[in-house]
Structure 1
Amino acid sequence: MAASTKKRSPLWARICVGVGVGVLVAGAGTLVTGQALISKYSDAVTDNTLLDPIQPKPAEAAPAPEPDVDIDGAVNILLVGIDPRDDRTAPLADSIIVAHIPRDRHTAYLFSMPRDLRVDIPAFPKSGTGADRDKINAAMAYGSRLGNGKYSAAQGFQLLATTVSGVTGIKRFDAGAIVNFGGFKKIVEAMGGVEMIIDMDVKSEHLKPDGSPRDRTPACQGHHNCARPYTGVQKIYKKSTKPVRLKAWEALDYVRQRYGEGMTDYVRQRHQQQFIKAIAKQAMSRDVVTNPSKLLGVMDAAGGSLTVAPGDHTVLDWAMELKSLNIDDIVTVNLPGEGIFEGEYKGERFLPEVGEFFKAVREERVPAFLLDHPRFVNTDEE
């Protein structure tokens, strides 16, 4: 195991574990830290078609030989965070993050799709759904329908990927992953929490200071028809210029907040992206990679929480291709938008300059675009 820690895990895998989310939460990755974990997943993944993702299964295997990988051009990876669901409940994509890795592999750029973004959702014969215009998080639910009251998040991912492609103009995603929020909590617990900067005061909509659920108002008892049903004392995350260690339940709660003073879904996206960077950095720290019991706990938590889709290449291919990336070089991107009101709130839309950013992604000009548009770059300050 000691020898395996000398190798970097693939960036897409590290990203997918953290989010999840919100990811994503949705995401940051399978947290495949080292060659031993890479081989565990590479033997388990048998279908390399991006839009037919499968759940990796544990496998006892010797490390595979390093391949001669030929992955040309920029890489785009789709990361989706969902609430825990059974196969009788349609999954909603609560966190949607794209990781763009330029051809030179020196850095990565993370940007989010607002869950309420109003988009065109294509028809999807597999689920029997027609074309529609709706909030983007509904695309996964539409595509997930199997019939007989059953749903598949993996199938829904296919329609979501097509929908995100329509918004961004990215023709195809090279890899992808789905992580559920419950699994995300287990991953952070296995890591012993996560350290990240709290860039503004945030009040929890859902939890009390001790982590227990807040009380519901009398009018919102026994049903879920209230947009904001909670009342009473709230957990507060205080702004700090230095990293703060969050417990798993605190991290999950913090990155899900979008209500309250100064809060919007765009702020939540920023916090999710900051979390992804923080957990990926911690995953590669000596505290994790040199601690066998902690590393094994993270492996087990990740393996049971993720559905991965490595595209046309294996997980090991990605590990070798992206091994030179430095987590400190990850740039989190803010895509400005605004609400749509037609008598009532209908969702979100991007401002026109976001189209220019997507064009820069397609043409591999993101660094130059961000130099000309510095307000698109998130920082650890409000």
Structure 2
Amino acid sequence: MSGGAYALTQVAIDKATSKITQATLLDGEAVAVPATPGPAGKKIDGPLNLLLVGIDVRPGWDAGARADTIMIVHIPASHDQAYLVSIPRDWRVPIPANPETNYRGGTDKINAAFEFGYRGEGTELQKRARGFKLLARTLNKQIGITFNGAALIDFQGFQSVIRELGGVDMCIDQRASSIHLAYDRNGKLVPIKFNEATHRVFDVPPGGKVVVHEVGCRPMSAELALDYARIRYGLPKTDYDRQRHQQQLIKAIAKKATSAGVVTNPAKIGRVITAAGKAFILDTQGVSIEDFVFTLKGVAANDMAVLKTNQGNFAEVKINGISYQRLTDESMEMLHAARDGTLDEFVRTHPAVVAPKTG
């Protein structure tokens, strides 16, 4: 990002910061990273690990609040690269006790940690913060990792951010049939429902048809891009394919957000950040948002590297008829490298963990 573009971005951030919801999501596990003065802000020192969690909670929808998406973003100390690592939501792990919600602790899928923290009384913000804390604490106990920042977003909020960006450019790498959207007879997108027991969609309007994402690169609306990134049923590697598509969407958003048409347009930046402020809950561990933006301004110069846990393959464990995932020794070593700030070195010696680039 050029100095002029950064300055414009900084002005927009200054105006929008007050609109961003901030809460304690990390249980105070990570100490704020020391910052050194820079020419137009402060640079955060050292490698960074950020935890991103996505949930699907809709008004009037009683389906729990398990984490649907769990990603670690690792930034090496050079601050010129970003690595995206998706955590399989079916990873079987010990989840610590959570006295706040009377959860005694146990072993379950990692996405259940959010639910065990979320349940109980309180405002929606308080419940989401509790859920995030227990999930972060679970990762900390399992791999020893602490986080320098965190973001929680629900899928409805994610759509608003992509919409303000004017959509994103996506490269569809495999044909996927939606379980969330259909076209009515007039070509308008409408929501549909899916029966997990029968693997069938229903509520497709008469004369309508289910959305099918065909292979190829093209601009996509917020609704279609998010829909593609959420599909796992019908794909050969199910959740691992979905993880890859979610990572592709994050990259597409980052590219669009740092494109010339956005960073040189203060009004557009303001609208995007305002939408993000409504959609995200952030915990920057005491470091200002401006300092994060200044520190990471060079990351956009390089493609985000998408890393594959289990190299994108199943490592299944069945217990009492329930299917779980385990992480291979290589994947655990990869997560420990993120913990230790040596992930860039790990990637150089394990190139097979890097997913092929798309687009």
Q: Tell whether the structures are fold-level matches, with TM greater than 0.5.
A: yes
Q: Which residue of 2 aligns with 1:269?
A: 243
Quote the sequence identity (%): 36
Shift of residue 164, structure 1, vs aligned partner: 1.6
Greater shift after overlay, 275-284 or 141-150?
Answer: 141-150
Quick one: which of 336, 340, 344 aligns to 1:359? 336
1:96/1:148 CA distance change after superposition, 3 Å = closer
**Structure 2 runs not aligned, ≥5 long:** 29-38
The residue that corresponds to 2:92 in the other structure is 118
Partner in structure 2 of residue 377 of structure 1: 354
- Amino acid in the other structure paired with 1:160: L
1:102 to 76, 101, 116: 76
Secondary structure of residue in 1 paired with 2:276:
helix
Q: Alpha carbon RMSD of aligned pairs, Å? A: 3.1
Q: How far 1:360 sits from its partner (Å)?
A: 2.0
What is the letter of the counterpart of residue 342 of structure 1? I
Deviation, 1:148, is: 7.4
Whether the aligned pair in 2 keeps the contact of 1:183 and 1:305 (CA below 8 Å) is yes
Which amino acid is the alignment partner of residue 199 of structure 2? Answer: R
What SS does the corresponding residue of 2:101 show, helix, strand or coil? Answer: coil
> Counterpart of 2:32?
none
Alignment of 1:154-193 (within 5 A): 154-170=129-145, 172-193=146-167
5 Å-filtered alignment, 1:327-366, equals 327-336=301-310, 337-342=314-319, 344-366=321-343
Distance 1:199 1:88 in 2: 31
Aligned residue number for residue 35 of structure 1: 10
Q: In structure 2, give the amino acid aligned to 1:353.
A: E
How many residues matched?
A: 334
Shift of 1:119: 1.1
TM-fit CA distance, 1:334: 0.5
TM-score (norm 1): 0.78
Q: Please state how far the C-alpha of 1:115 moved relative to its aligned partner.
A: 1.5
- In 1, the alpha carbon distance for the partners of 2:102 and 2:221 equals 42
DSSP 3-state at the match of 1:212: strand
Matching residue of 2:35: none
Distance 1:284 1:301, change over 3 A: same
Other-structure match for 2:6: 7
Instruction: Provide the C-alpha distance between the structure 2 equivalents of 1:144 and 1:311, rounded to a whole number of angstroms.
Output: 21
Partner of 1:77: 50
Task: Indicate how the Cα distance of structure 1 residues 72 and 292 shifts in structure 2: closer, same or farther if over 3 A, else same.
Answer: closer
Deviation of the 1:263 alpha carbon: 4.0
How much does 1:294 deviate? 3.6
Look up the match of 1:310.
284
Counterpart in the other structure of 1:284: 258
Q: Which residue is equivalent to 1:134?
A: 108
Structure number having the greater helix percentage: 2
Query: Which residue does the alignment assign to 1:234?
Result: 210
Matched AA of 1:169: G
- Distance across 2 between alignment mates of 1:162 and 1:131: 12
Q: Which residue of 2 aligns with 1:11?
A: none
Q: How many Å apart are 1:338 and its aligned residue?
A: 1.7
> 1:350 and 1:99 mapped to 2: Cα distance?
18
In terms of fraction of residues, the more strand-rich structure is: 2
**1:42-53 correspondence runs (5 A):** 42=17, 50-51=25-26
Give the 3-state SS of the residue equivalent to 2:65 in structure 1.
coil
Structure 1 stretches of 5 or more lacking a match? 9-32, 54-64
Task: State the Cα distance separating 1:68 from its structure 2 match.
Answer: 4.1
Q: Deviations over 1:318-360 (max 9, x none)?
A: 1222222225331110001422223523321112221221222
1:343–1:302 CA distance, 2 compared to 1 (3 A): same
